[in-house]
Structure 1
Amino acid sequence: MPVALVLFALLAILAVLVLAKTVRIVPQARAGIVERFGKYKATLPAGLNIVVPFIDKLHYMIDLREQVVSFPPQPVITEDNLVVSIDTVIYFQVTDPVAATYEIANYIQAIEQLTMTTLRNIVGGMDLEETLTSRDQINSGLRGVLDEATGKWGIRVNRVELKGIDPPPSIKDSMEKQMRADREKRAVILTAEGQRQAAILTAEGSKQSAILNAEGDRESLILRAQADRESKILMAQGEGQAIQTVFQAIHDGRPDQSLLAYQYLQMMPKIAEGDANKLWIVPSEIGKALEGLGSTMNSLRGIPDEVEGPRTRVDMGATAVDATTAETDRSLQSAHEEVAAAIAAAQESAAPTHAARPAAEPDLPSPADPALGGDPGEAPAQ
């Protein structure tokens, strides 16, 4: 009985081992390479697979996903004999698991070495300036060469990127100085451009300001000249109208010699109104003076001794004097009376002077004298 149990246990263990060797589970995005007696037999897809136990062997498990490999910086000599360090990143994917397994022993190392040699070949034909500014060109060249070389290995290179291009420290310092000089140059140029634009704008502003000021002065002078002209025209028109009015009034009043004598007597007190005139002496010859004035006025053209009838009016357009002949006579009579009173007052004030003079004085003309415009029937005022 115990022997039967041992055999059953051995058979169970053998069955489990056979089952374990028969069933193979391949993960997603993986491919299994099966060999039979050391020779390639089949490629197992993802999922559950059954193989012949103890005959077929799952030798390799290939990852079919896109992989990323970063290579360390490699020294590369440029065309102008400068050493730069370049590190790259390769993006690739296994498309044929059998070729990747049996065509190349280590495809990662093979890609790294191929990248280094291709990079040195491409960068060797460029100078430093072109190398620093031609990343896309270098990436495209690397990708084309790698994709062509790795195609027979069952690998497709999707993308190649340059992580960094590091020139020597001395070259970095020189480049920094050059960049600093270029920036300072651009700054000076921009400053000069700004100053030039500012000067141009300032000059244009000054020009416009001067033009506007000149135009303003011109308009001001024109307006001031027009105002002066209109003012002078108005003043001349006013003076002309005043002269016409006075001239019309003279013609309307029909003046004679007695009116002129009366005006002379009215001006005599105004002569003594000055502060320097402390003493005013009426000459005894005032009568002769008045008589002489009357005789002189007789010779003046246009001033008759006696006025007979109304004179011809001067036509002044809209100006008219509505005075009757009776009113004119009354005004003349009043003027004669005032002249007579003024002559009497002058004779009384001149009495002391007559006493002091030994010579005889001529008699003053009577207010009734026709030369003074008085009434012949009135008695002289003493």
Structure 2
Amino acid sequence: MGEAASLLILLIAITFVVLIVKGLVIVPQKHAMVIERLGRYHRTIEAGLNLIIPVVDRHRPITIVRYENEQKLIRTEKRIDLREVVLDFPKQQVITKDNVGVQIDGVLYYQIMDAQSAIYGAENLVLAIQTLAQTSLRSEIGRMELDQIFESRQQINDRLQATMDEAGNKWGVKVNRVEIRDIDVPDDIRSAMNKQMAAERARRAHVREAEGYKQAEILKAEGDKEAEIQRAEGEKQAISLRAEGEKKAINLVLQAAEQTGASIDPKDVMRYLIAQGYIEALPNVAKQGDRVFLPLESTSLMGSIATIRELFSTSKA
């Protein structure tokens, strides 16, 4: 009887140890595991060493879809990866608003934030994310013309991310980025686009050339205007200085006449100064030919010189 009791206790101990060993679950860092008890959700265990009750508790696996060389691979995993995952789904045919068939290659970055929602929110989480991304992409592309797709790629990415975030909330998933990686168009459309781009470059070159010519002409006109202003300003100053000099000369002559007691008309003084200018210019005029023709008015100016000299001589006498 004692041996039977000892054997029973030993069996119970061994069973207990086995249950403990089988109930120990190690979860890696940045992973989680959903535990069901008797078919119902019980708890989510985090990274580290955890203890569950064998037979009563069991893990709920998650279905994962992967693509390798454009081949779909479906497998189940009992540990849920909480790291950011890259979903590179294959190309799909999309029709644009202007009825051009293009192939769009996209990539999606998502991260499971709530393991429980990821398990129970969708039968196949990754397939649901991929399908929603593809249908949303077809919807966005179908509302745009081909040229708009290339110009608005970032806007398409932003709208796709907003759509994926709205659906991802109930799946416990955060969609970090959705990007269009490649847009493949038919050869005839590509050739037409290349010709269009070449024409656009030529047009821009002509516009730049015209703008450059316009700027050059504007600068030239402004330079000519500035030169005319400077020239006019110089002539103005020259005339002012010349007038000032003539004024001083007249005043000197009048002052000399007052000192000698002579009475001189200022007009005669002006004629006298002008006549002096004629006399100074005569040698240069004579160099231009054998004959020199002087204006008729020069004789009266010469007379002014004689008049001034006569007045000064009379005053001195």
So what's the TM-score if we normalise by structure 1? 0.52
The C-alpha deviation readout for 1:62-112, integer Å capped at 9, x for no partner, is 123333322233221101011222222223232332332244332112211
Identify the residue that residue 45 of structure 1 maps to in structure 2.
46
**1:57-96 alignment, distance < 5 Å:** 57-59=58-60, 60-96=78-114
1:120 deviates by 1.0
* Residue 21 (structure 2) pairs with residue 20 (structure 1): yes
The equivalent residue for 2:253 is: none
CA distance in structure 1 between the aligned counterparts of 2:190 and 2:52, rounded to whole angstroms: 62
1:90 partner amino acid: L
Match of 2:290 in 1: none
Which amino acid is the alignment partner of residue 276 of structure 2? S
CA distance in 2, matches of 1:221, 1:48: 104
Report the Cα distance in structure 2 between the residues aligned to 1:39 and 1:220, rounded to whole angstroms.
110
| Matched position secondary structure for 2:212 | helix
Pair 1:125-2:195 in alignment = no
Q: Distance in 2 between matches of 1:67 and 1:112?
A: 12
Going from structure 1 to structure 2, the CA distance change for 1:47 and 1:181 (only over 3 Å counts) comes to same
The within-5 A match list for 1:142-157 is 142-157=160-175
| Alignment deviations for residues 309-349 of structure 1 (CA, whole Å, 9 cap, x no partner) | xxxxxxx45x5xxxxxxxxxxxxxxxxxxxxxxxxxxxxxx
Identity of aligned residues (%): 42
Cα distance between partner residues in 1 of 2:220 and 2:121: 79
Is 1:231 paired with 2:267? no
Q: 1:10 Cα deviation (Å)? A: 8.8
Q: Superposition pairs for residues 274-313 of structure 1, below 5 Å?
A: none
Structure 2 alignment gaps of length 5 or more: 1-6, 61-77, 250-272, 278-300
Kept in 2: contact 1:78–1:124 (CA 8 A): yes
Match 1:109 to one of 124, 127, 151: 127
Seen in structure 2, the aligned counterparts of structure 1 residues 154 and 190 have a Cα distance that, compared at 3 Å, is: closer
CA distance in 2, matches of 1:211, 1:52: 101
Equivalent positions of 1:328-367 (< 5 A) are none
Structure 1 runs of 4+ aligned residues shifted over 6 Å read 7-13
Asked if residue 240 in structure 1 is aligned to residue 310 in structure 2, the reply is yes
Work out which of the residue numbers 188, 191, 205 in structure 2 matches 1:170: 188
Q: How does 1:240-279 map to 2 (within 5 A)?
A: 240=310, 244=314
**What is the rounded CA distance, in whole Å, between the counterparts of 2:197 and 2:241 in structure 1?**
63
Query: Quick one: which of 180, 186, 190 aligns to 2:204?
Result: 186
| Distance of aligned partners of 1:199 and 1:103 in 2 relative to their CA distance in 1, 3 Å threshold | closer
Aligned to 2:214: 196
Mapped to 2, the partners of 1:66 and 1:75 lie a distance apart of: 27
SS of 1:28 mapped into structure 2: coil
Equivalent residue number for residue 30 of structure 1: 31
Q: Which residue of 2 aligns with 1:370?
A: none
Matches within 5 A, 1:210-221: 213=231, 219=238
Q: How many residues are aligned here?
A: 243
Q: 1:151 to 1:196 in 2, by over 3 A?
A: closer
Q: 1:151 to 1:201 in 2, by over 3 A?
A: closer
Distance across 2 between alignment mates of 1:217 and 1:46: 94
Comparing 37-46 and 226-235, the one that deviates more: 226-235
Amino acid at match of 1:97: A
Structure possessing the higher radius of gyration over alpha carbons: 1
Tell me how far apart the structure 2 counterparts of residues 97 and 69 of structure 1 sit (CA, whole Å). Answer: 18
Shift of 1:189: 2.1
Name the CA shift for 1:152/1:203 in 2 (closer, same or farther; >3 Å): closer
Root-mean-square deviation (CA, aligned residues, Å) is: 4.0
How many angstroms does 1:15 deviate by? 6.1
**In the superposition, relative to structure 1, how do residues 240 and 150 fare at CA in structure 2: closer, same or farther (>3 Å)?**
same
| Structure 1 residues 309-328: aligned runs within 5 Å | 316-317=315-316
Cα distance in 1 between the residues matched to 2:38 and 2:233:
112
Check whether the contact 1:21–1:54 (CA below 8 A) recurs between aligned residues.
no
User: In 1, Cα distance between the equivalents of 2:54 and 2:43?
Assistant: 14
Q: Distance in 1 between matches of 2:218 and 2:52?
A: 91
Q: In 2, distance between residues paired with 1:192 and 1:79?
A: 36
Question: 3-state SS of the aligned residue for 1:80?
Answer: coil
User: Greater strand percent: which structure?
Assistant: 2
Counterpart residue type for residue 27 of structure 2: V
